[in-house]
Amino acid sequence: CLLILFLYTSFILTAAYQLPSPKRLVSSDQPLTTEFYDRTGKLLYRMYEGRNRSLVALDELPKYLIQATIASEDKNFYKNPGVDPIAIIRAAYHNLKDGRQEGASTITQQLIKNSLLTPEKTYTRKIKEIILSLWAGAIYSKNDILQMYFNEAPYGGPAWGIEAASQTYFGKDAKDLNLAQSAFLAGLPASPTQFSPYGTNASLAKMRQVWVLQRMMEEGYITPDQKAHAQVEELNLNPASN
């Protein structure tokens, strides 16, 4: 009965708000980067228009990257149905009481926003986001959603998706990221422009990385010693490209 009610409600709301189907997530029409290699397998250059984006499978990514993302973006990712009602209520309360904009988006909501909706900040768009996130949570596994998130999240500038981000900032495949690098990249999607290491206040990127490491420690993913070593490790970022 609950399933029938959910499907009926989804149908009515989809018609009312003209929502795109979450099934489009697995057939994204976003263009991919074309890569050119020499005969030895060395990457020569990449060609893309607007978004530098390459796909990667979840099982190829290091556990630290997955843990850093969950700890910083959605600690209850594997427990919630696609939205976090308590976080939404808390954010709404602070927004009304203090006038400050407090986020409450889960990883699923961020995926929906980045892939299916426009970035406009309106209550109507937020309602669409919540409906589609619940819908996506009902038809996809958590690992499917997480993999799609890593391939669609913005990491600053033209770097969309974790593979492009890893190549842009560190010149390496995402599968080879260490703890310090994973925490650094996991912190960027929350505000890619604000936390950009190539921006006017590059220190914010480092502060964000330390905060992500703190969240990982609080969630039991890493030890205090691991946090201490990672936050002082030299990142050796690639220079900003012109």
Does residue 47 carry a pLDDT above 50?
Answer: no
Pick the range with the lowest mean pLDDT from 49-58, 112-121, 124-133.
49-58
* Residues 3, 135 contacting (CB under 8 angstroms): no
Q: Which helix (H) or strand (E) holds 181?
A: helix 179-186
pTM of the model: 0.81
Does residue 101 carry a pLDDT above 80?
Answer: no
Handedness of CA 125, 22, 76, 186 (dihedral sign): negative
